Amino acid sequence: MNIISMDLIIVLQTAGVIFLGGIIQGILGMGFSLFAVPFLLLLYEPKSIIPPLICMSLVFNGLFWWRWRKDTEINQINRLTWGALIGIPIGVIVIKVVPKIIFLLFAGIMISMSGLIYLTEFKIKFKNKTSVAMIVGCLSGLLSSAVGTGGAPIVIYFKNQNIKKLNFKATISLFFLITTVVCLGVYYAAGLLTMSSITLIKIGIIPLMIGGLIGEKLTPFFSQYKFERICLGIVVISGFWLIYQSIHSIIKI
């Protein structure tokens, strides 16, 4: 697949979704994949779109972590990272073997749940931090490699740690930088990084960067809390729309 052979409408829709995701990421410091995935899954097969999105998110994760690197608390992500190393290959298997209709149902549930978790600022109290960190890391790694949205378990975990906001941003950026690099390695080994992936990266990388820069410039003009609520509301609705689409397709079979 190359850009010339693709339908112009699909190219514009893809670039537009990624551009809007970049703006959201630039304003909030999160949310690119969570916003983009449900829309792009309606245009592409999961194994065609998730790896390129993960590859593009590497740019943001790297830039954000480098900016905030002095505030990173590396000791907070040791167990999380080991857990993610277990979950990532499982997520890749899900992409490769699960039929698209079932995958859309799974993705819709995970995306809508993630949005609701962010919206409600859900917290869980736990005592055994070591085992919980491994489980949370595993779940995040699975969701990152399978759906491209592994942030919700990590956010819940860090909220329980009472970590300062800037430390949280720096530390979570490093965690996702590491897991993104691992994801790409596993994708490559599984044969999921193809010429189609490169084509989609070519379509999306410039809109993503422009959107991110615009988002950063727009940040002072928005109430971050209200904008976050609106974006997460869209994410939840899009997740439920994926669930509806998959159930509708299953009923028609």
pLDDT tens digits along 181-236: 999 999 999 998 888 888 899 899 999 989 988 987 887 887 767 777 877 787 78
Tell me the mean pLDDT in the region 237-241: 85
Spatial distance between the Cα atoms of 182 and 86, rounded to a whole number of angstroms? 11
Q: Where are the domains of the chain?
A: 8-252
What is residue 183's predicted lDDT score, i.e. its pLDDT? 93
Number of H helices, E strands in the chain: 10, 0
Vertex 41 angle, CA 47 and 30, to 5°: 95
Spatial distance between the Cα atoms of 140 and 117, rounded to a whole number of angstroms? 14
Q: Under 8 Å CB-to-CB from 185, ≥6 apart: which residues?
A: none
